[in-house]
Amino acid sequence: MNDAVFARLASLARDFRASLRDQSPLPASNFPAGKDLRAKYDFAAAGRRSLEDIITDVSRWMESGTLQVTHPRYFGLFNPSVHESSIIADALVALYNPQVGGWSHAPAANEIEQWTLRALGSSLGWTGEFAAHFTSGGSEANHTAVLAALAARAPGYTAGGTGALPKPPRIYLSDESHHSFVKIARACGLGEQALAHAATDSSYRMRPDALLAEIERDEALGFTPLMIVATVGTTGSGAIDPIPEINEIASERNLWLHVDAAWGGSAALVQRLKRYLAGIEHADSVTWDAHKWLSVSMGAGMFFCKHRQALKSMFEIETGYVPATVEGGVDLYKESLQWSRRFIGLKLFFALAEHGMDGVGRIVERQATIADTLRARLRAAQWRVVNDSVLPLVCFTHDTIDGRSLTTQMVVDRVLARGRCWISHVTLPREEPALRACITSFDTTEADLDILLEDLRAAIAPRA
């Protein structure tokens, strides 16, 4: 291998990160270099470009043709800045390319992942036995939860599919829950009709009385209530459903309780926030993404489940070719959706090993604190905050945004046009559209908030 190529890669990683704040987070429109891509890279004539040339081209394209979600002024969806250690870990994973699906192929990688997952599981207050594995993201983890619940509570499903079930199963979630469940219900053969959305309160949290009413109505109509999904950190407004009350309803009726904490789960590592997750220790399963608020590169989701047997009923198969399970080891291909499996967990191991659990918690907390500052400064500048999340997600509007002469879309467009910040807008139940800013970078500072506030002020200023 060529020293110069690795040196180039190293300097690229260093220089890009160092210069990011001085650049725009926004991509040049429409990737004009696409023509360049097609003209230069006709694969029929492959094998003629040096790795250095290819790195130069790809980095140029990635820098001009990508929304830079690791930028400190990407006030975006839950795509984080990434620790330097993620870059190192991803490279090491490619170097060794371990097959993590079977224990006997990769005991070291499996032990590193299970050790990491044990530590995070205990931060959720999970003290007993549990199964856990890494996933591509929250969607796969949520999908796994529904499948596990079906295996455990809908006898006949694994052999006969939904057709073998005497009554159609129902899944309860709030009207602000994640849309991955729509895809999951379709993909599991349940169909969207299996989803029952309970109404939320004025803070966009699931209303336990509405949940109970849905369940009772379904029972009368001849459905089988299967599971309840409580969301910790809704995508729209950062709401946290009341897990203790929901758990009471679930345990009285023997329903599977899944907590979708894909983004908000990281609050478990923050002393002043963890009380908002109370009750998560009672869940049957939990989704928690490391590639959101734990600032590791995509895709790194986590799935925790107290019922290993349910996972085995759903995923276990016997092959004539994979080496037998090793005593004491976990063969993940027998208890998860994936077969060939990447060493997803190494980047999270690196983050925890480098900073410690407390250190990672402090990094998470800093983002929550910056969001508190943003809320205070917005209010001081006569903006109205319309969500009351304790998580770093702020939805806000202003009296001048009347939906006619000035809309939230116009404000977003004007902020983006200045090229310094990325924000978006959101429509919450029973509210007019609002602006949405999420602190997703551990590098975001008060000086970045100054820039955002300045651009917001300019966006609502009367125009000539």
Ligand X SMILES: *Cc1c(COP(=O)(O)O)cnc(C)c1O
Whether residue 285 contacts residue 132, with contact meaning beta carbons closer than 8 Å, is answered with: no
Closer by beta carbon to ligand X, 291 or else 420? 291
> With contacts defined by CB under 6 A, how many residues of the chain interact with ligand X?
15
CB of 302 to ligand X, least distance (A): 10
Which of 284, 289, 335, 448 touches ligand X by CB under 6 A? 289
Which of 301, 361, 392, 433 touches ligand X by CB under 6 A? 301
∠ at Cα 38 (35, 43), nearest 5°?
Answer: 170
Backbone φ, ψ for residue 272 (5° rounding) = -80, -10
Asked if 178 interacts with ligand X (CB under 6 A), we say yes
Place of tokens 């998470």: 364
Place of tokens 């198969």: 317
Residues 225-254 that bind ligand X (CB under 6 A): 231, 233, 235
CB of 299 to ligand X, least distance (A): 6
Q: CA–CA separation, 319 vs 282, rounded Å?
A: 35
Closer by beta carbon to ligand X, 177 or else 444? 177
Asked if 303 interacts with ligand X (CB under 6 A), we say no
Q: CA–CA separation, 121 vs 258, rounded Å?
A: 14
Which of 103, 126, 263, 293 touches ligand X by CB under 6 A? 263
Which of 176, 260, 331, 448 touches ligand X by CB under 6 A? 260
H or E stretch at 258: strand 256-260
Asked if 180 interacts with ligand X (CB under 6 A), we say yes
Q: CA–CA separation, 359 vs 355, rounded Å?
A: 5
Closer by beta carbon to ligand X, 393 or else 411? 393
The amino acid at residue 440 is T
Asked if 157 interacts with ligand X (CB under 6 A), we say no
Residues 56-85 that bind ligand X (CB under 6 A): 78
Closer by beta carbon to ligand X, 260 or else 331? 260
Whether residue 138 contacts residue 301, with contact meaning beta carbons closer than 8 Å, is answered with: yes
Whether residue 350 contacts residue 361, with contact meaning beta carbons closer than 8 Å, is answered with: no
Closer by beta carbon to ligand X, 286 or else 330? 286
Tell how far CA 111 is from the center of its chain.
Answer: 24
CB of 135 to ligand X, least distance (A): 8
Backbone φ, ψ for residue 112 (5° rounding) = -60, -45
Asked if 313 interacts with ligand X (CB under 6 A), we say no
What residues contact residue 187 under an 8 Å CB cut-off, 6+ apart?
Answer: 143
Asked if 331 interacts with ligand X (CB under 6 A), we say no
Closer by beta carbon to ligand X, 25 or else 138? 138
Stretch that binds ligand X, among 108-116, 138-146, 246-254, 455-463 (CB under 6 A): 138-146
As given in the structure block, the two tokens for residue 214 are 């849905």
Classify residue 44 by its DSSP letter: G
- Contact footprint for ligand X (CB under 6 A): 78, 137-139, 142, 178, 180, 231, 233, 235, 260, 262-263, 289, 301
